Amino acid sequence: MDAKDLRNLLEKSNNKLSIFANTKTLRKCNFTINELCSLVSDFLDDNEKYQLISYPHFQEVSNTVRASIAILISDDNLKLQMLGNDAITGDFQSHYIRTIIDGLSDSSKKQLLYNQNLLQKCKLNNFNIEEIIGDLNEETRKQVLNDKKLVSDTLGISNFGVAKLALTLSNEKDKLKIAEDYELPQYQKVEIILTISDQTKTTILLEKNNFTIYDSISILTSMDSKALNDFLANHKDFCIKNNIPLYKITSSLSAEKQKSFIENLENMQLTESEKKEILATLEQEVKDSIDTSNFPKEYIAALNMNSTKYVDKIDIDLNGNLEDYRGLDNLIAINPEQFTEEQKAKLMRLCDICPNMKIFNSLNSLCNTPQISSTLPNLDYASNVQDYINADKWITNLIDSIDSKYSDAQKIAIIDNAIGKKISYSPDFGTEVFDSDDCRAMWKIINSGYGVCNGISRVEQYILSKVGIKSEIIGTGTHAFLKFTDIEVPLANGEIVRGNTLLDPTWNLTAHRFGGRPFNFFVNYDEIRKHDIDANGVDHHSHENDDKLQDATLNLDVPSLRKLFTSVGLADKDGNFPIVSLLDKSQALHELYAENNPEEDIIKHFSLIAEACPEFATCQNSTMSILSDLLSNDALDFDKCVINRVYNKSDEKQAPVVYVYVSSEKIGKKFYFADKDSAQFVELTPEEFSNTFECYEKDLEKHQGKRPWEYDEKENDQINLAASSGTVAKDKLKPDEATMLNGKTPNNSYPNDKNEEKGEER
């Protein structure tokens, strides 16, 4: 029997449903699913169709046939009833379920969305539900979206999904209401704002003050030319208040919009510098279209500059007329790392002309060519002009102080020591005010005296390159340091050896600052890896990089290291480092005061620190490290000793301040802080200290919100910054090798780099 035969049979029958329900008859028929569905549609009403697919014996028919028949039902109530009946739709494929739902009216779809049990039976994912909402007519869609509890809590639609659905609404007030009600992330709110009228965009920009520069630029550049020109003409103060240079807006426009803007350039209240910035960063086709016959020569010079739209910078010709760049400070990006002396001299003249330009440096390696271009891939970190001038002067003086006859090893010793005297590990690392760029900007690091491990390593690598010594920055994922290949090193016995060796300038900082022996100077891979093991036997993997470091086998023994530093005047004729005097004085103070007058012992040690390092209050990490050693004498018998950092509550920048808190039966509870103005440790009462200083939020999080002096455990609690000026395992070294304590193994290891944030060696 074919479809035609079956149709004839149905036309003669008074019980058409029974014929379709006879599965044996259907199996004998020779026709397609489409032909069967056509017959069902012609001869059965909705109730009969529903009854047919409800018959238990009809479940023997394939789910494809049954689903095809189910789709033919037009009555919404029957469809909803069918979707909730597992016996009918339980084995339907998802696209059949979606087809059935698509055929529902908007009111029935809304009813479905509010029926959690029915939704679960339909096995719809979030994407399916978003599609259903998106298919609703706008009024119903708005009603659903306005029910935040349904959409977010019951249906589980993400913010991304909500934002996408909000964009489908035509009424801008409805869109904005959804954005506010759901507290969408800022970038999603901006996406919605981009679709509304220019007039409303203007109102929002002027009323809201929580947009980033890039958000504001994105909104402004989405306006049509007239609206944008009007905004900039009438609300230039908005750009000034929000630090938005006009050229950043105009350079982001299409060529067509740029041309429209330039036509009104003279009608806008712009400074000469603003006009030049705009002209210099136009699309080349726009520059070529401008009639310059009546242009001042300075504007023509700006038009002739090569711009790179991506970063809004211009190429600099140091051999050209440097005056042409006056007022274009914001557009200049220069990396002078490989400049000749002649180029540096011209750069210094440009610094006078453009005092607000930025000087960039690469991070992980020297540039291959002396480019002066914004397209240079390693223009990573920016310093200001004064940072560069001061840093370059310091580097020049350092290099000039080195005897040209010195060996490479001697030069490295002098430079590593000078860096330790000049730079300290960034004391606000790991706090909410930490700037991850400033601590890697080479010239800023030198001028400010603060950096992190890869920034400090970059400083040393750069200075070494200026005296002809090559090195490689090695990264481990959490830390960075230097490797020297085939370097010649003298031994104490007069021999000369060659090989590959390692130097960690960051972990040498405190030793050099206080005149100690650097533990991480010319060590082999095995030795420096030992330094990664803390007192509890935990390996922090700070220096682990087998691929790069297996061949670093040269390890300078202690007598040879002492002789090397003696040869450049950094140790005495017997190889003793200056710290010996500090440690001898410390020991004498402990013997004199520790048991009978511990408070005087502490105060005398503060004076000792100030004498040894007058800048102790501004090299916080090194000061905390040395203090943790000097105050670890058992005779002081502290219940608690905390050496850590806080910030002054009245300081908007929240600059770190070193403090010492001690508690014992003999002296009670004492607070001292390192005062930068008086260069002394100043004592405060507990109440005064708590009223003046506060811990960083991120430091509080480490102790469940408690301040270090508030919990009662008997312990020595020193800050654990991410990079160390000593070694993690210093307390595991032999007593005669202790860097600081002149024969006494310290109780506290130096801060280590195990918490170094991701991207540290970037």
Say if residues 212 and 247 touch (Cβ distance below 8 Å): no
- Residue 451 sits at φ, ψ, to 5 deg, of -165, 175
With 70 as the cut, is the pLDDT of residue 728 above it?
Answer: no
With 70 as the cut, is the pLDDT of residue 324 above it?
Answer: yes
State the alpha helices, DSSP H only, in 401-506.
408-422, 442-448, 453-466
Say if residues 672 and 746 touch (Cβ distance below 8 Å): no
Distances (CA, A) of 271 to 241, 276, 277: 16, 9, 10
- Average pLDDT on 687-697 reads 96
Say if residues 324 and 298 touch (Cβ distance below 8 Å): yes
Q: What is the pLDDT of residue 534?
A: 84
Work out whether strand 333-334 and strand 358-361 pair parallel, antiparallel, or are unpaired.
Answer: parallel
SS3 of residue 1 by DSSP: coil
What gap in Å lies between CA 202 and CA 651, rounded to an integer?
36
Say if residues 462 and 451 touch (Cβ distance below 8 Å): no
Per-residue H/E/C for 69-128 = HHHCCCCHHHHHHHHCCHHHHCCCCHHHHHHHHHCCCHHHHHHHHCCHHHHHHHCCCHHH
With 80 as the cut, is the pLDDT of residue 601 above it?
Answer: yes
- Average pLDDT on 521-533 reads 95
Say if residues 334 and 347 touch (Cβ distance below 8 Å): yes
Q: What is the pLDDT of residue 713?
A: 57
Checking phi first, is residue 494 left (phi over 0); if not, alpha (psi -120 to 50) or beta?
left
What gap in Å lies between CA 623 and CA 640, rounded to an integer?
19
CB under 8 Å to 451, separation ≥6 — which residues?
423, 425, 426, 439, 440, 445, 459
Q: Whole-prediction pTM value?
A: 0.77
Say if residues 172 and 144 touch (Cβ distance below 8 Å): no
Residues in the chain: 762
Which CB contacts under 8 angstroms, 24+ apart, belong to 46-55? 46/73, 46/74, 46/75, 46/78, 47/75, 47/78, 48/16, 48/17, 49/73, 50/75, 50/78, 50/81, 50/82, 51/17, 52/17, 52/20, 52/21, 53/82, 53/88, 54/85, 54/87, 54/88, 55/21
Share of the chain above pLDDT 70, in %: 91
Say if residues 743 and 528 touch (Cβ distance below 8 Å): no
Helices 159-166, 126-135: inter-axial angle, 10-degree rounding: 20
Helices 620-630, 598-612: inter-axial angle, 10-degree rounding: 140
What gap in Å lies between CA 463 and CA 470, rounded to an integer?
10
Q: What is the pLDDT of residue 739?
A: 40
Share of the chain above pLDDT 90, in %: 75
Q: What are 662's strand-pairing partners? A: 641, 670
E strand or H helix that includes residue 665: none
What gap in Å lies between CA 482 and CA 490, rounded to an integer?
19
Per-chain mean pLDDT for the chain:
88
Who wins on pLDDT, 266 or 576?
A: 576
Question: What tokens appear for 165 in the block?
Answer: 């659905």
Q: Which of 156, 160, 145, 113 is nearest to 132 (CA)?
A: 113
User: In this structure, how many other beta carbons lie within 10 angstroms of the beta carbon of residue 71?
Assistant: 17
SS3 of residue 237 by DSSP: helix
- Cα 712-717-723 angle, rounded to 5 deg: 150
For residue 494, name the pLDDT band (cuts at 50, 70, 90). very high
As a whole number of Å, the end-to-end CA separation of the chain is 76
Per-residue pLDDT of 642-691, as tens digits, reads: 999 999 999 999 999 999 999 999 999 999 999 999 999 999 999 999 99
With 70 as the cut, is the pLDDT of residue 397 above it?
Answer: yes
What gap in Å lies between CA 213 and CA 306, rounded to an integer?
25
CB under 8 Å to 681, separation ≥6 — which residues?
603, 606, 609, 610, 660, 672, 673, 674, 675
- Average pLDDT on 205-223 reads 92
With 60 as the cut, is the pLDDT of residue 393 above it?
Answer: yes
User: In this structure, how many other beta carbons lie within 10 angstroms of the beta carbon of residue 716?
Assistant: 15
Checking phi first, is residue 633 left (phi over 0); if not, alpha (psi -120 to 50) or beta?
beta
Work out whether strand 680-684 and strand 668-675 pair parallel, antiparallel, or are unpaired.
Answer: antiparallel
SS3 of residue 323 by DSSP: helix
